[in-house]
Amino acid sequence: MHTTLTEHARCLYGDEYRPTRDCVLDHQEQHFVGELTFADADSIVAMLHDLSPHVVDGLLPVWIRNLAYRLALLQRPHDAALLREAADSLYLHGPAWDDIAADLRRRADEVDRQPAGPQA
């Protein structure tokens, strides 16, 4: 069994920056998606940063990347930096998502304008 979401993703999709260890596990995308679905935001963001450190790179399929950002943002809806990072990723992968990316940027700007304090 993989010990982290990042390790599981690396075995399944590869990593252009680090070698992928030999792994005897049966890698099925549906199992990874299940793990991703219930992962905490820290694990998801760590996977995205480890496997795509420059946003424009990485071997994660675009749909997995989009899903990962969506799941992380559901857990951190007031994280302005993460909202902008997700927007940048969407802008890079086609004009079909530009309106969603623009909305994420607007939300990040709104978060920045709110006074500091606990978020509901």
Model pLDDT for residues 3-38, shown as the tens digit of each residue: 899 999 998 998 888 877 777 777 788 999 999 999
Token pair, residue 114, equals 């709110």
Q: How confident is the model at residue 43 (pLDDT cuts 50, 70, 90)?
A: very high
Residue 58 · residue 9 · CB < 8 Å = no
Residue 89 · residue 68 · CB < 8 Å = no
Write out pLDDT tens, residues 54-76.
888 889 999 999 999 999 999 99
Cα–Cα distances in angstroms (integers) from residue 88 to residues 2, 65, 80, 104, in the given order = 29, 12, 12, 9
**Does the pLDDT at position 45 exceed 70?**
yes
Domain ranges of the chain: 5-113
Q: How confident is the model at residue 120 (pLDDT cuts 50, 70, 90)?
A: low
Q: How confident is the model at residue 119 (pLDDT cuts 50, 70, 90)?
A: low
- State residue 108's pLDDT score: 98
Full 3-state SS string of 4-56: CHHHHHHHHHCCCCCCCCCCCCCCCHHHHHHHHHCCCHHHHHHHHHHHCCCCC
As a whole number of angstroms, the distance between CA 67 and CA 96 comes to 15
Token pair, residue 91, equals 């802008």
Token pair, residue 110, equals 């709104």
Strands (E), 65-108: none
Token pair, residue 41, equals 């935001």
